[in-house]
């Protein structure tokens, strides 16, 4: 049988795409859809298929999640949004500025060293960082508090006033290097002749940044924002190791709330599945908002390429 | 040719992927549970071939006998039972509970596991994941070898014998450090008011009043609040709640919560205790950073001499300076029983996976191991190394044990209280006590009120009742 070139091309594309598609369907799409289904049932462990005791109970778990007396969902959501805020409005601008400083060679010596130091936290396991910062900042007998007490013996431990602050600081410190590397790689691709021409025409550094560098980086900024948002909603390991969501659940995030609902004390799988479904929905909404904002900005003559 | 190659390459990739997916299809573990099936047959089954047992062990590496446990318990058992091979997983604290819950969810629980009679092991009992050991106990005539509570199924959360406990646990152990107190000219407080009066004196000298590792939310509830609520609401309070005679919005319950808040406000328990990990408490106390230490009686083992290293957090020559008792009298209005009470519960122990078939060599091997783990030799070892304070087995020769001063002090703990009230996590479902654990921390943070906490717990209790 003879295949036309077009058919051969289509077939080979299809076969090349198929493995990725199968993997995607198996490990992303199917669990997501199945999780939504389980969130509407009373399934609470044991056999899933062929268990006559599983019943569809509608939105019971969702109602409980939104109305339960300790308001864990809202605390977790607030913390996730704080992390999104620190990621989008902290890590990305800071990463951009650091990349710009390094790219423009504003630091004359030790550029490679600074680049490595800023990126280093990203390659360390979040579990190690969590344990490290627990010992360094959170623990009342930590180095930080011992030094603070040395200078001011009356200083009181203040974790209880805002438990999320140390977590947000660590998140800012840990991931800024990642965005810096992305921005730096793309900044290095901007034609130096264009920058030089602008400077010859009398543009100062802020004008070069505003009118040349930023417009050239729009798509990278949007990509980083999407990565930051999705990463923020998935935050788990660092907080698990650093505070385990405590004290009093004040540093809990949605993924940890989901985990604790599923695996702590009496398991509540329907609730855990309901939380994960809401996480997916929030994630999709935030990413759509970011893309919409980027398009809107583009349309108004913003940083579009 | 290139196109043909690319088609073939893609085909090979797909085939490899599908083969990879298929290769594991027969490797899964049966997830079915038989739900608290009764264990045993009329006669013991001979173990003629080597049986492998998966064992989940709760292993506190900070305990004095931690290293010795390997030889005294595990290697000794395998030497005496060459047909039983143990594949053991050691876990501690939250990682232990995480493992149990993950295994339970996956239907892959180990054959033999360490467990509580209620509390964090409620799921194992209430979902029938543990074998009912009563038939095996009866078959081997073991009941007479244990104190009555240990073989009374009604003492365990689901009303059947899911585990054999290795002791009875007093969940409040209050240690006074005379080295610190003497250094600032104080004596151990006998009332709460005396403790409050000591706070500024100790603070000025750079000491905390109480060391309590409160980062894990269960610690306050188990090691102190259960005692407090028992004193405010009186003996048998949990039964009155369960049968509707009173509820969690009762003024006495609110007063017990207000007392927790007051302890933080008075500086008796520092807010910084909420950032101290459970494993750190003994080290902080042994290095004289505080005047008093609050934990459960099981924790005394952390201070004793490790026989393998000869070192101790509190060396025997210092141990006379540490006095073990119960939390001082609460001399406040509205307290039903001011002092001489403690919260107590059956201790931890060992259970068997309900999936092990009756009459099988696997069940016989698991039962042999459980009998060893709660037997005379092992309980004597646990007693000697401070792992337990009140053994469940009878017949231990105390006179022959080289006990350290702290252990002798612990042995006198029972004489320091007349009433033992329930531990909250042993009396109520996790959907009730878990919000309570968290809210007790919230009181410490000053972000809630006792009345609000009472409302939350009552709502959680009513939600639990609705599911029953």
Considering the domain architecture, whether residues B284 and B235 belong to the same structural domain is answered as: yes
Q: Kindly state whether residues B337 and B356 are assigned to the same domain.
A: no
Residue range of the domain that includes A164: 71-253+277-299
Whether A141 and chain B come into contact, CB under 8 Å, resolves to yes
Residue B400 located in a structural domain: yes
Confirm or reject contact between A269 and chain B (CB < 8 A). yes
Structure tokens at B368: 């042999």
Question: B159: phi > 0 → left, psi -120 to 50 → alpha, else beta; which?
Answer: left
d(CA A214, CA A212): 6
A9, A246, A264: residue with CB nearest B101: A264
Nearest CA in chain A to B4: A8
Looking at the structure, tell me whether residues B400 and B316 fall in a common domain: no
pLDDT of residue A48: 62
Side-chain half-sphere CA neighbours of A158 within 13 A:
11
**How far apart are alpha carbons B63 and B65 in whole angstroms?**
6
Q: Does B107 touch chain A (CB under 8 A)?
A: yes
Question: Is the Cβ–Cβ distance between B458 and B451 less than 8 Å?
Answer: no
- The B residues from 253 to 282 touching A (CB cutoff 8 Å) are 270-277, 280
Please indicate if any CB of chain A lies within 8 Å of the CB of B104. yes
- Cα-only R_g, chain A: 24
Q: Which of residues 146-205 of B touch A (CB under 8 A)?
A: none
**Weakest-pLDDT range from A293-302, B77-86, B134-143, B186-195:** A293-302
CA B178 to chain centre: 28
Same domain, B337 and B351: no
Distance from CA of B418 to the nearest CA of A (A): 31
Mean pLDDT, rounded, for A166-176: 92
Mean per-residue pLDDT for B415-440?
90
Same domain, B237 and B247: yes
CATH number at residue A228: 1.10.3720.10
Q: Which of B10, B447, B455 sits opposite A69 (nearest CB)?
A: B455
A25 found inside a domain? no
What is the tally of helices (H) and strands (E) in chain A?
16, 0
Label residue A146 by pLDDT band (50, 70, 90).
Answer: confident
Contact A222, A290 (CB under 8 A): yes
Q: In chain A, pLDDT over 70 holds for what percent of residues?
A: 91
Is there a contact between B431 and A266 if contact means CB atoms under 8 Å apart? yes
Assess if residue B31 is contained within a domain. no
pLDDT, tens only, B86-131: 999 999 887 898 888 888 877 889 999 999 998 888 888 888 899 9
Same domain assignment for residues B420 and B395:
no
What pLDDT, on the 0 to 100 scale, is given for residue B336? 80
Please report whether residue A155 resides in a domain. Answer: yes
Is A90 inside any structural domain?
yes
B371 and B444 housed in the same domain? no
Residues B103 and B132 in one domain: yes
pLDDT class of A52 with cuts at 50, 70, 90: low
Q: Are residues B179 and B297 in the same domain?
A: yes
Is B187 in the same domain as B284? yes
The answer to whether residue B108 is domain-embedded is yes
User: Which pLDDT score is estimated for B12?
Assistant: 44
Residue B179 lies in a domain: yes
Contact A16 B6 (CB under 8 A): yes
Picking from B105, B180, B110, the residue whose alpha carbon sits closest to that of residue B350 is B110
Same domain membership, residue B80 and residue B212: no
Which structural domain range is residue B59 located in?
Answer: 51-167+346-405
A43 domain-assigned: no
- Of B357, B374, B405, which residue is a domain's last? B405
**CATH code at position B220:** 3.40.190.10
Residues in chain A with CB shorter than 8 Å from the CB of B274 are 159-160, 246-248
> What six digits make up the tokens of A189?
């691709």
Q: Taking 50 as the threshold, does the pLDDT of residue B15 lie above it?
A: no
Judged against a pLDDT cut of 80, whether residue A301 lies above it is answered with no
Of the candidates B17, B270, B459, the beta carbon closest to that of A69 is on B459
Residue A42 domain-assigned? no
CB B269 within 8 A of CB B212: yes
pLDDT tens figures, B160-219: 999 999 988 899 999 999 999 999 999 999 999 999 999 999 999 989 999 999 988 999
Which of A9, A26, A45 lies nearest to residue B127, judging by beta carbons? Answer: A45
Task: Provide ipTM, 2 decimals.
Answer: 0.77
Q: What's the pLDDT score for residue B38?
A: 60
A246/B4 CB distance under 8 A: no
Asked if residue A89 is part of any domain, the answer here is: yes
Give the SS3 label for residue A142. Answer: coil
Domain-located, residue B206 = yes
Cβ-nearest to B272 among A11, A64, A157: A157
B438 and B289, same structural domain? Answer: yes
User: Is B45 among the domain residues?
Assistant: no
Distance from CA of A229 to the nearest CA of B (A): 28
Of A66-70, A128-132, B378-382, the one with minimum mean pLDDT is A66-70
Residues in chain B with CB shorter than 8 Å from the CB of A135 are: none
> Can you give the pTM of this predicted structure?
0.79
Q: How many domains does chain B have?
A: 2
Interface test with B, best of A21, A49, A70, A267 (most B CBs within 10 A): A70
B434–chain A Cβ distance below 8 A for any pair: yes
b/e map A282-301, b = 16+ CB within 10 Å? bbeebbeebeeebeeeeeee
- How many folded domains does chain A comprise? 1
Q: Do A46 and B107 touch (CB under 8 A)?
A: yes
Residue A287 lies in a domain: yes
pLDDT reported for residue B79: 95
Q: Is residue B247 part of a domain?
A: yes
Query: Which residues, 6 or more positions from B190, have their beta carbon under 8 angstroms from its beta carbon?
Result: B328, B329
Share of chain B above pLDDT 70, in %: 91
- Both tokens of B116, joined, read 């509580």
At residue A43 the predicted structure's pLDDT band, cuts being 50, 70 and 90, is confident
């Amino acid at each position: 049988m003879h295949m036309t070139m077009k058919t051969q091309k289509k077939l080979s594309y299809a076969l090349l795409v198929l493995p990725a598609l199968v993997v995607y369907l198996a490990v992303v799409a199917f669990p997501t859809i199945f999780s939504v289904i389980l969130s509407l049932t009373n399934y609470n462990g044991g056999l899933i298929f062929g268990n006559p005791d599983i019943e569809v109970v509608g939105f019971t778990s969702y109602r409980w999640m939104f109305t339960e007396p300790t308001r864990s969902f809202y605390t977790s959501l607030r913390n996730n949004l704080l992390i999104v805020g620190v990621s989008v409005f902290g890590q990305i601008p800071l990463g951009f500025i650091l990349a710009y400083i390094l790219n423009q060679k504003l630091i004359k010596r030790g550029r490679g060293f600074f680049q490595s130091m800023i990126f280093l936290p990203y390659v360390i396991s979040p579990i190690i960082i969590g344990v490290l910062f627990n010992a360094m900042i959170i623990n009342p007998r930590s180095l930080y508090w011992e030094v603070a007490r040395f200078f001011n013996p009356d200083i009181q431990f203040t974790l209880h006033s805002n438990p999320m602050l140390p977590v947000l600081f660590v998140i800012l410190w840990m991931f800024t290097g990642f965005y810096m590397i992305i921005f730096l790689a793309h900044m290095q691709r901007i034609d130096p002749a264009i920058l030089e021409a602008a400077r010859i025409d009398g543009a100062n550094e802020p004008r070069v940044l505003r009118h040349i560098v930023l417009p050239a980086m729009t798509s990278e900024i949007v990509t980083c924002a999407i990565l930051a948002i999705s990463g923020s909603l998935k935050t788990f390991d660092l907080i698990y190791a650093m505070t385990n969501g405590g004290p009093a659940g004040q540093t809990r995030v949605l993924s940890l709330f989901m985990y604790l609902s599923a695996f702590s004390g009496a398991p509540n799988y329907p609730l855990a599945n309901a939380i994960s479904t809401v996480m997916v929905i929030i994630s999709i909404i935030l990413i759509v908002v970011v893309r919409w904002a980027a398009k809107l900005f583009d349309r108004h003559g913003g940083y579009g390429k | 040719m290139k196109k043909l190659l690319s088609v073939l390459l893609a085909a090979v990739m797909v085939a490899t992927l599908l083969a990879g997916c298929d290769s594991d299809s027969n490797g899964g573990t049966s997830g079915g549970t038989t739900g608290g099936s009764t264990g045993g047959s009329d006669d013991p089954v001979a173990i003629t071939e080597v049986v492998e047992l998966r064992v989940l062990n709760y292993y506190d590496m900070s305990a004095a006998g931690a290293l010795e446990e390997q030889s005294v318990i595990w290697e000794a058992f395998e030497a005496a039972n060459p047909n039983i091979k143990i594949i053991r997983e050691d876990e501690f604290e939250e990682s232990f509970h995480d493992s149990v819950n993950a295994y339970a969810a996956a239907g892959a629980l180990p054959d033999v596991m360490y467990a509580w009679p209620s509390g964090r092991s409620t799921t194992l009992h209430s979902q029938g994941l543990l074998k009912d050991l009563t038939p095996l106990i009866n078959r081997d005539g073991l009941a007479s070898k244990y104190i009555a509570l240990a073989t009374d199924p009604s003492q365990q959360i689901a009303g059947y014998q899911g585990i054999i406990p290795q002791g009875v646990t007093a969940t409040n152990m209050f240690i006074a450090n005379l080295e610190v107190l003497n250094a600032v000219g104080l004596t151990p407080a006998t009332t709460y008011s005396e403790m409050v009066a000591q706070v500024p004196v100790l603070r000025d000298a750079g000491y905390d009043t109480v060391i309590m590792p409160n980062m894990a939310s269960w610690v306050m509830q188990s090691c102190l609040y259960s005692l407090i609520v028992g004193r405010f609401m009186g003996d048998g309070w949990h039964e009155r709640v369960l049968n509707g005679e009173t509820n969690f919005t009762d003024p006495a319950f609110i007063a017990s919560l207000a007392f927790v808040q007051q302890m933080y406000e008075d500086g008796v328990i520092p807010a910084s205790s909420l950032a101290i990990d459970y494993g750190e408490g003994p080290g902080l106390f042994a290095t004289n950073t505080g005047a008093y230490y609050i934990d459960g009686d099981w924790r005394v083992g952390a201070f004793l001499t490790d026989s393998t290293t000869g070192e101790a957090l509190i060396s025997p020559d210092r141990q006379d300076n540490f006095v073990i008792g119960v939390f001082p009298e609460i001399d406040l209005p509205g307290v039903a029983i001011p002092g001489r009470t403690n919260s107590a519960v059956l201790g931890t122990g060992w259970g068997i996976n309900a999936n092990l078939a009756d009459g099988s060599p696997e069940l016989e091997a698991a039962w042999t191991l459980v009998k060893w783990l709660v037997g005379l030799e092992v309980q004597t070892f646990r007693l000697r190394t401070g792992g337990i304070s009140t053994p469940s087995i009878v017949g231990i020769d105390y006179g022959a044990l080289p006990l350290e001063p702290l252990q002798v002090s612990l042995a006198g703990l029972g004489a320091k209280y007349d009433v033992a009230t329930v531990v909250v996590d042993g009396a109520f479902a996790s959907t009730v006590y878990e919000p309570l654990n968290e809210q007790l921390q919230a009181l410490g943070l000053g972000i809630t009120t006792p009345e609000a906490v009472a409302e939350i717990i009552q709502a959680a209790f009513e939600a639990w009742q609705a599911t029953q």
